[in-house]
Structure 1
Amino acid sequence: MPPFILQTNRLTLMPVDVADLPELQALFTDPDVRRYLLDDLLVEEAWTADVVNRSVVMFRDLSYGLWAIRETGQRSVIGFCGYWYFEHLPHPLQLIYGLLPAWWGQGLATEAARIMLDYGFETVGFTEIIAATDVPNRASVRVMERLGLTHLVTDEAVIYYSLLR
């Protein structure tokens, strides 16, 4: 399998690429997706292009970034998963994931995040993986708990979970 391509029973995860830009823009601007992931901000295509470009550099330099999630054998991007830096947060490197609403409730976020945990520990060599979500995002909290992450800390708006190797 080519480098950085990850496969589960139902999903194929490939590093985001410039060709994914239109689908990622639609994903990031979906009102239900951006409610928690982007604090309801409506991002411009230039922002999404910057995310893709930063991810490409991260893969080149660090062997991780953001992966586009597709159903195995399909071309359409249904979500993303990966590791991202949030320099302004107390835990800057985080596992992140998101799916279009049509794909919610099927266990796909858990499936994608599980293979991402394996990749982070086994391939990258992380000793701890942090994930976070807005406090009201109960669905994301359930994903983290199903993955075995444990509550680390909650501040006024964000709840952090951690998994140690």
Structure 2
Amino acid sequence: MALLTLQTNRLTLTPFAKTDLAELHALFTDSDIRRYLLDKRIVEETWTASVIEGSLGMFQNQGYGLWAIRQTDQRPIIGFCGYWRFEHLKYPLQLIYGLLPAWWGQGLATEAARAMLSYGFETVGFTGIIAATDLPNQASVRVMNRLGMSHLETDETTVYYRLIPPFEPLI
């Protein structure tokens, strides 16, 4: 399957590439990104390389993976969005997203995730999409609410949301 670039009003989303390693590693080691995504764990560059390899394999085998987020016509990666498998979790396939702190509060996570939902339903053919976040991450909960996702359940540490078709992408 050819890797697809997604375009929104303000963003360009491109599948993770091996050439993105340094930028993605800087993103994944940012303390604000690590707080919720990695439970504050500091990861090695080899971990980031394995995420890129895993994403490329997912694209090849399932047609989905992780995209780097850039502002349209800009080079630096400002975040990521896509689908990732967490085999150890109750809901293994999840929509995930994250932005560097300088880009918070501008609606960019919602914009990227909305494009990802459209891709998931229209291109991949998902019949439902799950997203989750740590309970304290209320900014992510607001993103899921703006996307029209419904609360699915909450456990001791995590809140889960779900969206099932029909999904009407908003501009």
Asked if TM exceeds 0.5, the reply is: yes
Query: What SS class does the counterpart of residue 121 from structure 1 fall into?
Result: helix
CA RMSD in angstroms comes to 0.8
What is the identity percentage for the equivalent residue pairs of Structure 1 and Structure 2?
Answer: 70
- CA offsets, 1:28-70, max 9 Å, x none? 0000111001000001101000000000111111111000000
- CA offsets, 1:54-95, max 9 Å, x none? 001111111110000000001110000000000000000000
Aligned length: 164
Q: Could you say which residue in structure 1 is the equivalent of 2:156?
A: 156
Q: Could you say which residue in structure 2 is the equivalent of 1:7?
A: 7
Offset of residue 124 of structure 1: 0.3
Q: Could you say which residue in structure 2 is the equivalent of 1:75?
A: 75
Cα distance in 1 between the residues matched to 2:38 and 2:3: 29
Q: Could you say which residue in structure 1 is the equivalent of 2:169?
A: none
Query: What SS class does the counterpart of residue 47 from structure 1 fall into?
Result: helix
Deviation >6 Å, runs of 4+: none
Q: Could you say which residue in structure 2 is the equivalent of 1:47?
A: 47
What does 1:1-165 align with in structure 2 at a 5 Å threshold?
3-165=3-165
C-alpha contact 2:3 2:59 (8 A) present in aligned 1: no
Structure 2 unaligned runs (5+)? 166-171
Cα distance in 2 between the residues matched to 1:124 and 1:62: 8
Cα distance in 1 between the residues matched to 2:141 and 2:111: 15
Query: What SS class does the counterpart of residue 160 from structure 1 fall into?
Result: strand
C-alpha contact 1:4 1:63 (8 A) present in aligned 2: no
TM-score (norm 2): 0.95
Offset of residue 3 of structure 1: 4.1
Cα distance in 2 between the residues matched to 1:155 and 1:44: 30
- Alignment-mate amino acid for residue 89 of structure 1: L
C-alpha contact 1:11 1:69 (8 A) present in aligned 2: yes
C-alpha contact 1:56 1:65 (8 A) present in aligned 2: yes
TM-score (norm 1): 0.98
Cα distance in 2 between the residues matched to 1:94 and 1:163: 11
